[in-house]
Structure 1
Amino acid sequence: MNTSFFGAPPISLDQLGPVEQSAPNLILWAVPFMILFTAIEMIAAYVEEKPFYERKETVGSVLVGLGALAVGAATKLALLYAIVWIYNALPWRMELAWWTLLPCYVIFDFFSYWAHRISHEQRFWWATHVVHHSGEHYNLSVSFRLSWVQHLKIIFFLPVALIGFHPVIFFTTNQIAVLFQFWVHTEYIGKLPRWVEYVFATPSNHRVHHGSQPKYIDKNYGATFIFWDRLFGTYQPEEERPIYGITTNIEQKGNPFHINFHEFADMARDVKKARGLRQKLFYVFGSPIKIAETKQAGEARPEPAEMPSVA
């Protein structure tokens, strides 16, 4: 066993420039191609008169995507610093070897499954993810709808960094994982061969994830590999056509600030009205489904009848 492979020298925190340059900015390079394919799909849908796009919603998706690119550029150095600091603290640092990209990707996708699942099961994290589900149409532009505060979820991927993968491998893996999810946001690709549907998060599998029907809610969390869902009991095949969006759709479909922060605003209002610490914590970290049911039950509860006055 080559022990020197796991004893790579630390990276100087004062010289992060070479590391940043070594991590290819794949997402930025891919943007022109993503725009091109989205435009082709949009034109095809218009010519074929298919209701895959809606103007305000598409504008909202583009503006959210531009904001996500800006936030990503602004936070890249800070995230790189944090990952390099962790890397330097480990005694089992891996050398920069491109073949480590494959095990890193599989492990990263495993934690991506759980980060995604928790983002549906706890309201605070749902607020960082609902942006992506707020579109009522399913098309390539939906892949642009990435929360401006999604980088908070880096904490779910710390175990990947703690394994000792080189920071360049870590960031390249993250970008490939994000880019993989672009092509699955379309209705133009039907079901693929059975083995592909069994292994990968295909357009069919991911359409289910965006469905708002009860049978589709909180299913198919896999980002690249769908076998995590099969393993952990959250898999659902595509049957009837999904109804896209969230259970209570937003009104300001073209406002990127509303798209990004409406759930945080609702959460703050609920916490303000809540009585006691336990209920406040419930409205922050409880299940979004249970919170919605609790609020609906409260709204449906009749007001107590006014007592008749005694003359």
Structure 2
Amino acid sequence: MDLQQLEQDLLPLTAYAAPVVFGSVFLEYWLTRHDEEHRYQSRDFWSSVGIGLGSLLINAILKTSVFGMALFFYKIVPWRIETHWWTWLVAYALIDLCNYFAHFIAHKQRVWWATHVTHHSSEHLNFSTAFRNSWTQHLKLIFFVPAWVSGINPVVILTCYQIDLLYQFWIHTEVIRKMPRWFEFFFVTPSHHRVHHGSNDRYLDKNFGSSLIIWDRIFGTFQEEDEEPVYGLTKPVASFNPVYLNFHVWVDIGRDLRKAKSAREVWEILFGPPV
């Protein structure tokens, strides 16, 4: 397998899903248009759209590099796992587990928080909030190396990655309240993700799962939705500017690094908890 073959074999699932995504945004907008508390707020919505368009552009520019990295790691390992129906399940679980740890660390260390804070910047939760993917989020690809060195075909791995990403769209809403109990036990739902976006004390750093909530149950980061979430950052950012929302934490880190007087201070600035 070479890079050209990988690009040909990999279906552009995110492009195929675009009509469903935009249709869902329009439907949610229409359903909540008379609800003062939950309806779309114009400036917030266009801020999300601006961030999303920037993210799409960066994804397009870096697509070949991402594919190349996946293929590089696949080729350097001596083992292979043949593709069967169960390989897809293993690959998806592995991708979702990598996503869980990437998400968890992004909330615990300042430099990784800088790649994620944009997603939490809105004080509302609706389908358009899912567009708020940081323009520097590709730095977190390092957390997916375990999937790339698994020996599973990169087409399978990257397809599962796309599906896992698409799954996260529908959980950004207040319109869907609760799913069946069995579904809520295994899978991430809007209720679970509302908790994650809440800045309530009991909701902070909870429910990091992307598709499967079982990782949160296993690792002790699960929290049921038992009070109304207050969305946004604990230190709200008074801006709707997509550029500012993507880089304000990076600017703060750069300012603090200029003042650092030792390697230990540099380490604490980069890998200490978000401030």
TM-score by length of 2: 0.95
Percent identity for Structure 1 against Structure 2: 45
Aligned to 1:19: 6
Aligned to 1:300: none
Cα deviation, 1:234-291, whole Å, max 9, x if unaligned, reads 11100111000001111221x2111111110111122223443322321221011xxx
Q: Secondary structure at the match of 1:184?
A: coil
The more displaced of 177-186 and 78-87 is 78-87
From the superposition, tell whether residues 201 and 175 of structure 1 become closer, same or farther in structure 2 (CA, over 3 Å).
same
Matches of residues 182-193 of structure 1 in structure 2 within 5 Å?
182-193=169-180
Structure 1 residue 172: deviation in Å?
A: 0.4
1:152 is aligned, of 139, 142, 158, to 139
Equivalent position amino acid for 2:254 in 1 = A
Equivalent position amino acid for 1:133 in 2 = H
2:229 is aligned, of 242, 258, 261, to 242
The answer to whether the 8 A contact 1:98-1:169 is kept is no
2:254 is aligned, of 249, 268, 283, to 268
* Distance in 1 of aligned mates of 2:143 and 2:48: 25
1:283 is aligned, of 244, 263, 269, to 269
Aligned to 2:157: 170
Q: Secondary structure at the match of 1:121?
A: coil
The alignment status of 1:53 with 2:40, answered yes or no, reads yes
The alignment status of 1:259 with 2:241, answered yes or no, reads no
Matches of residues 197-236 of structure 1 in structure 2 within 5 Å?
197-236=184-223
The answer to whether the 8 A contact 1:96-1:168 is kept is no
Matches of residues 24-35 of structure 1 in structure 2 within 5 Å?
24-35=11-22
Q: State how many pairs are aligned.
A: 275
Structure 1 residue 99: deviation in Å?
A: 4.6
The alignment status of 1:125 with 2:112, answered yes or no, reads yes
The answer to whether the 8 A contact 1:119-1:128 is kept is yes
Unaligned stretches of 5+ residues in structure 1: 1-10, 293-311
Equivalent position amino acid for 1:256 in 2 = P
The alignment status of 1:43 with 2:56, answered yes or no, reads no
* Distance in 1 of aligned mates of 2:271 and 2:174: 33
Structure 1 residue 17: deviation in Å?
A: 2.2
Q: Secondary structure at the match of 2:54?
A: helix
RMSD: 1.5
Structure 1 residue 100: deviation in Å?
A: 2.0
Structure 1 residue 48: deviation in Å?
A: 3.6
Q: Secondary structure at the match of 2:33?
A: helix
The alignment status of 1:92 with 2:79, answered yes or no, reads yes
* Distance in 1 of aligned mates of 2:72 and 2:226: 47
Structure 1 residue 101: deviation in Å?
A: 1.6
Equivalent position amino acid for 1:103 in 2 = V
Aligned to 1:194: 181
Q: Secondary structure at the match of 2:203?
A: coil
Equivalent position amino acid for 2:111 in 1 = F
Cα deviation, 1:77-96, whole Å, max 9, x if unaligned, reads 11111211221222222345
TM-score by length of 1: 0.85
1:142 is aligned, of 109, 129, 137, to 129
From the superposition, tell whether residues 238 and 117 of structure 1 become closer, same or farther in structure 2 (CA, over 3 Å).
same
The answer to whether the 8 A contact 1:94-1:165 is kept is yes
Unaligned stretches of 5+ residues in structure 2: none
